[in-house]
Amino acid sequence: MVRDTTDLYREFGDERLPPGQRRTESFPVLSKGNVPRVTREEWSLRVSGAVEESVTLDWEAFTDLDVETQRQDFHCVTGWSRFDCDFTGVPFTALADRVGVDSDAVHVLFHAADDYTTDLPLDACLRPETLFAFEFDGDPLSRDHGGPVRVVTPHRYAYKGSKWVTGVEFLTEPQRGFWEKRGYSVTANPWREERYG
């Protein structure tokens, strides 16, 4: 079963395509540098910070959590949007439930194998569409697009979705990620054109 989330824009604006974006049928690749090579067997996810219990989940423990498939749109801050991407993965909320988030956590910093980081307020992470995706259109997520596991955030510009994700750090105070330090928005809502912060 595929859960269609492509109508989430109604909460933010009148048009499915956010202002200043153009639609593309292809799926461009945007990476800041090197493309890490990590297999599912080697991969693990470190969950730390303001949580009841820090854990490191290997592939098996990770995929033992809830898994679902969602149809999502993808909006890159550089101006392209791709509609109807089917991503299969673990919802952020399932991970949050597993570790027990402290009541004073307000922000999240994602860490990746290419030393990328990105930050997002906790409430944006806790939306049901924030997914740790490991399949795209029914196939294992390709390396270029962040395999084995990436984050997707259809309600935010796509730089909020860390490819090759290896860590989730819950924070009691905001901390800026790679692009956020370089002037991009912390909140990054495409329908409000929050491109720069």
Residues that bind Mo ion (CB under 5 A): 30, 76-77, 159
Smallest distance, Å, CB 100 to ligand MTE? 26
Residues 59-88 that bind ligand MTE (CB under 6 A): 76
Smallest distance, Å, CB 134 to ligand MTE? 13
2 binding ligand MTE? (CB under 6 A) = no
**Which of Mo ion, ligand MTE, none binds 163 (CB below 5-8 Å, type-dependent)?**
ligand MTE
DSSP string, 12-58: T-S-SS-TT-EE-SS-----SS------TTT-EEEEEESBSS-EEEE
140 binding ligand MTE? (CB under 6 A) = no
C-alpha 188/C-alpha 31 separation (Å) is 18
Determine the straight-line distance between the first and last CA of the chain, rounded to whole angstroms: 37
139 binding ligand MTE? (CB under 6 A) = no
Q: Which is nearer to Mo ion, 164 or 170 (CB)?
A: 164
Angle at 83 between CA 80 and CA 136, to 5 degrees: 105
| Position 139, amino acid | D
Residues 6 or more apart in contact with residue 140 via CB below 8 angstroms: 40, 134, 147, 148
Looking at 28, 79, 140, 183, which residue binds ligand MTE (CB under 6 A)?
A: 28
**Which of Mo ion, ligand MTE, none binds 116 (CB below 5-8 Å, type-dependent)?**
ligand MTE
